[in-house]
Amino acid sequence: MSRTASEKTTQWLENFEAALAARDAERAAQLFAPTSFWRDLTAFTWNITTVENPDGVRDLVAATAETTDASNFRLAEGEEPDEADGVTTAYFTFETAVGRGSGLLRLTGEGAFTVLTTLDELKGYEESRPKGVGHGARKDRVTWKEQRAAEIEDPRPYVVVIGGGQGGIALGARLRQLGVAHVVVDKHERPGDQWRSRYKSLCLHDPVWYDHLPYLPFPKNWPVFAPKDKIGDWLEMYAAVMEVNYWGSTTAKSATWDDVDKEWTVTLDRAGEDVVLRPQQLVFALGVSGKPNVPVIPGQDVFAGEQHHSAQHPGPDAYRNSTIVVIGSNNSAFDICGALWEAGADVTMVQRSSTHIVRSESLMEFALGDLYSERAVAAGVTTHKADTIFASLPYRILPTVQIPTYEAIAEHDKDFYARLEKSGFRHDWGDDGSGLFLKYLRRGSGYYIDVGAADLVADGEVKLAQGQVVELTEGSVKLDTGQELPADVVVYATGYSSMNGLAADVVGQPIADKVGKVWGLGSDTTKDPGPWEGEERNMWKPTQQEGLWFHGGNLHQSRYYSLYLALQLKARQVGIPTPVYALQEVHHTS
């Protein structure tokens, strides 16, 4: 009689637990298929790392089994394993010496194909609902308002987070729930102002179900695609409700590490006044990018009109009767071109290299719909479950998962892509055909989640020019093709440098060099040189500089990975040993 899916997975979990208990790395490795992947988020490695094949499993177990002391592997309560196409998929829970975790197993006839293990909480430091106001009469009572004021102004925060966008605020909320003294500093006065300050037409291009923040999901009447000012208002409300210790109008001037006292000296400009803090942990939470990348072009000092990077673009209203050249063909370029066209400007987009475009509706239907959509919610796929499934796919195999998705999109939208091609627009599907998500992870060449502006290019309403910009004259932009574009305004939608550069401005170039490149998988594709890392470089995990961390990404990444970063910080705060397996090697920016 063949065994049920539940029996198969229960037996595998029991065998895995027994191998770990015996500290038998070879026995554990034999439970994995010849081609297999184990992705661990903090539970075993105090790191975010993926090992591949039995050899990788053998090394990880040999290095971590003793200190992790994992046990009590069980099928997750209320989750029956699923079996399809020869693969059994099962959710499970487990414990370590210091915490509780969960994971997802994909099991084949050859053994485990993929395993995800995540640390969900620390024993003795579980998140719980506070009692709040203590009833009864007492002298010298401290009110909630007085307590909050003292927390915000705490002169000795354990963590300083530089950057108060969605990443910094999400991390602040996690730290607050874990009882970690922190302060989130941002140059903007209020949380959300960094969204409010961007160009007028900015909105979320991915759907609401993908974008919830920790603890407080968007309400059911929230729009699928939210405009920037609505997001700004939400972030301000979120920071207040979640009691994030936010210092606005504050800029980090410098930070130096004391290797004896194991603390940073962080000098801040807080509304014009220098303030010095001495945290033990410093986190850069600066989104997905670094400094605006403005190319150096001959004639920029000659050009008589206005020039600015897309990060400083104020919106279309001042340019209604202007002739605009937008250099670039990514998300920002399309958004800005579309808004300028709506305002009546004469707009030309300069495409310097090929761009991947996917229509937002198709992205929702084909790429995200099974996990992050109304139909997913109706099918019982919670945000946590969707995140677990998403995280359980190792980056190495993501192309094989994504390629069929984008092949389906290409077929579904073939008329749209034919119109784009006819207009002369150069379109690509990524180096290996894997589409948008891998481009984003690899920090590859441009992409655009189309919310309407691509039709303007396809129809010629927004003019298209191809080539490299070689010179600006007093009133035009010259390309290497010989084409000369009249311009009153030049907008550089030319992307951003590595976050490493922003860190260097605060901690100094030697420490930035010690850490190395931030973001990218090492996939050896466009703009993502090898070697292969298997995870995003230096994100949400220990770096070569003790006490220095990087956090950020889109709303999804800010939500999901903030938990694992917060748990790593909490463990260090309370003195839990955190031996790091496979510390990130140094690869410098290119």
Under CATH, which architecture does the 5-122 domain have? Roll (3.10)
Whether the pTM exceeds 0.85: the reply is yes
Q: 494: burial class by Cβ within 10 Å (0-12, 13-18, 19+)? A: buried
pLDDT in tens, 115-136: 999 999 999 999 988 888 878 8
User: Could you tell me which CATH class the domain 145-291+501-573 is placed in?
Assistant: alpha beta
pLDDT for res 589: 47
pLDDT for res 447: 87
Helix (H, G, I), strand (E, B) or coil at 260: coil
Per-residue pLDDT of the chain (590 residues; tens, 9 = 90+): 468 999 999 999 999 999 999 999 999 999 999 999 999 999 999 999 999 999 999 999 999 999 999 999 999 999 999 999 999 999 999 999 999 999 999 999 999 999 999 999 999 999 988 888 878 888 888 889 999 999 999 999 999 999 999 999 999 999 999 999 999 999 999 999 989 988 777 888 889 999 999 999 999 999 999 999 999 999 999 999 999 999 999 999 999 999 999 999 999 999 999 999 999 999 999 876 678 889 999 999 999 999 999 989 988 989 999 999 999 999 999 999 999 999 999 999 999 999 999 999 999 999 999 999 999 999 999 999 999 999 999 999 999 999 999 999 999 999 999 999 999 999 999 888 888 878 778 776 688 999 889 999 999 999 999 999 999 999 999 999 999 999 999 999 998 877 788 899 999 999 999 999 899 999 888 888 899 999 999 999 999 999 999 999 999 999 999 999 999 999 999 999 999 999 998 865 44
pLDDT in tens, 69-87: 999 999 999 999 999 999 9
Provide the phi-psi class of 277: left if phi over 0, else alpha when psi is between -120 and 50, else beta. beta
Domain 145-291+501-573 matches domain 306-362+395-492 at the CATH topology level = yes
**Contact (Cβ atoms closer than 8 angstroms) between residue 245 and residue 279:** no
Of the candidates 525, 505, 504, 523, the residue with the CA atom closest to the CA atom of residue 515: 504
Domain boundaries, the chain: 5-122, 145-291+501-573, 306-362+395-492
The β-bridge relationship of strands 281-285 and 476-479 is unpaired
Under CATH, which architecture does the 306-362+395-492 domain have? 3-Layer(bba) Sandwich (3.50)
**Contact (Cβ atoms closer than 8 angstroms) between residue 480 and residue 467:** yes
Buried b or exposed e, range 42-65, using 16+ CB within 10 angstroms: bbbbbbbbbbbebebbbebbebbb
The β-bridge relationship of strands 87-95 and 99-108 is antiparallel
Q: What is the DSSP letter of 396?
A: G
